[in-house]
Amino acid sequence: MTAVTRNAKVAIIGGGPTGIGVARELVAGGVEVDLYEAESDFGGVWNADAACGRAYESLHLISPKFNTQAPDFPMPEDYPPYPNHRLMLRYIRDFARASGLYERTRFEAPVQRLEPVGDQWRLVTAAGHDALYPLVIVCNGLQRVPHLPDPAYPGSFAGEVLHSMDYKSGRQVAGKRVLVIGGGNSGCDIAVDAVHHAASVHHSTRRGYYYQPKFIDGKPTPQWMMELGNKFPRKEDTLAYIAEVFRLAGYDGAAYGLPAPDYPLDAAHPVMNSQILYHIGHGDVVPKGDVAAFEGRTVRFTDGSTAEFDVILYATGYKRDFPFLDKALLEWKSGIPDLFLHSTPRNHDNLLFMGFINAAGGLGDGLKTQGLYALTYARALFGRTRGLEAFLKAKQTDNPDIGQGYFVPSYRHLWEADLWKLLAQMRRYRDMLAGDGAREAMAS
């Protein structure tokens, strides 16, 4: 182990899109960065061949190119509206290279321990790094440890059990009877992919969903929705119009015998899939309600029906996981860290968590805003500014509206936010942090 060194730098843990985006803004703003990545190259969940990879062979983006790309680093012109995972990985690495991050990154350096030492953090890696940092930004990603139904379904299943993180190719389920559990984007995408290989595919969901096509009027659907602008006087009128267009386009789940959603169109993370209802309509995917119990290879559903399966594939999300950090160092609520703006611990002033929130928009909409928030915070912290003092008081008492209470009450929506409210609040508190002259320095 090398001797402990003290750095006037920011440590960033994680070389996925968020870690790269945050590092890019810090470096551009004149803040020195050490980035630690457990794998041999950048990519995070898009690094399909690495342990952190969550991509399978046929995977494409569910958010379109126009709002996934960073605003100041557009994807190549020849990229399609919805790039595949290989193009996305190439883009991420090009983004890191153009930002000068390869020379600032310690690869194959998984962080083993992060512990407070006075007003700093001691960071220790498996590669032998041992250093002190005045500010650490954790960007190790949302998709770490599988989240399974809790409580577990009664009984036990005698066949093969997978999680979406294990799914790499439809060949894994070739000739098998498959039950996909989970109605989000991963569950729908994997069910659609599996029909080309499996003997049969059933899809279990617990509630009704709004299914959105990837294109409307020849445009990516999010772009079409954004271009509606203020066409209607009320949000409710806009949502009603969108729902009617989706219905006429054949994307009303109730028309296929699925339960109708009992919540507004924008009260859940959107399911962007042009094929799931198509395959349900053609009998390739058999929709089922929630699971009641397992009995060997037999699955009993809540409607009393049963079916035999060889494979259960859980597409039920992920848990937060910070194996390098003592859990007692964070404040927790409902199984996730209780962070101000989903980024800033109330009980630590020199630790940030970026990328731990979801919203109905592409990566690019929030990437630069998060990076500038981290940059402004770092400048205020290092300068011990009046803006920092105001912010540290505010994070103890404020409860900013980011739309959290509007969404369906599920585990997946504990970190869902209204994108535009979130971005507005992050800009508001960034202005607070920059309140004593740092704002002018940022503009220079």
Comparing CA positions, the residue from 176, 178, 172 lying closest to residue 286 is 178
- Dihedral angle sign, alpha carbons of residues 316, 320, 324, 326: negative
Asked whether this chain's domains 5-145+318-443 and 148-314 adopt the same fold, the reply is yes
Domain ranges of the chain: 5-145+318-443, 148-314
Comparing CA positions, the residue from 139, 68, 150, 75 lying closest to residue 357 is 139
Comparing CA positions, the residue from 53, 37, 35 lying closest to residue 45 is 53
Report the CATH fold assignment for 148-314.
FAD/NAD(P)-binding domain (3.50.50)
| Beta-bridge partner residues of 160 | 311
Comparing CA positions, the residue from 224, 236, 235 lying closest to residue 420 is 235
CATH architecture of 5-145+318-443: 3-Layer(bba) Sandwich (3.50)
Alpha-carbon distances of 415 from 34, 318, 402, 409, rounded to whole Å: 27, 12, 10, 11
Task: Please give the chain's pLDDT, 444 residues, in tens.
Answer: 445 666 679 999 999 999 999 999 999 999 999 999 999 999 999 999 999 999 999 999 999 999 999 999 999 999 999 999 999 999 999 999 999 999 999 999 999 999 999 999 999 999 999 999 999 999 999 998 999 999 999 999 999 999 999 999 999 999 999 999 999 999 999 999 999 999 999 999 999 999 999 999 999 999 999 999 999 999 999 999 999 999 999 999 999 999 999 999 999 999 999 999 999 999 999 999 999 999 999 999 999 999 999 999 999 999 999 999 999 999 999 889 999 999 999 999 999 999 998 888 888 878 899 999 999 999 999 999 999 999 999 999 999 999 988 999 998 899 899 988 998 999 999 999 999 644 434 443
Dihedrals phi, psi of 131, to nearest 5 degrees: -140, 155
Q: What is the pTM of this model?
A: 0.94
With beta carbons less than 8 A apart as the criterion, state whether 146 and 280 touch. no
Q: How far apart are the first and last CA of the chain?
A: 41
Distance between CA 34 and CA 105 in Å, rounded? 6
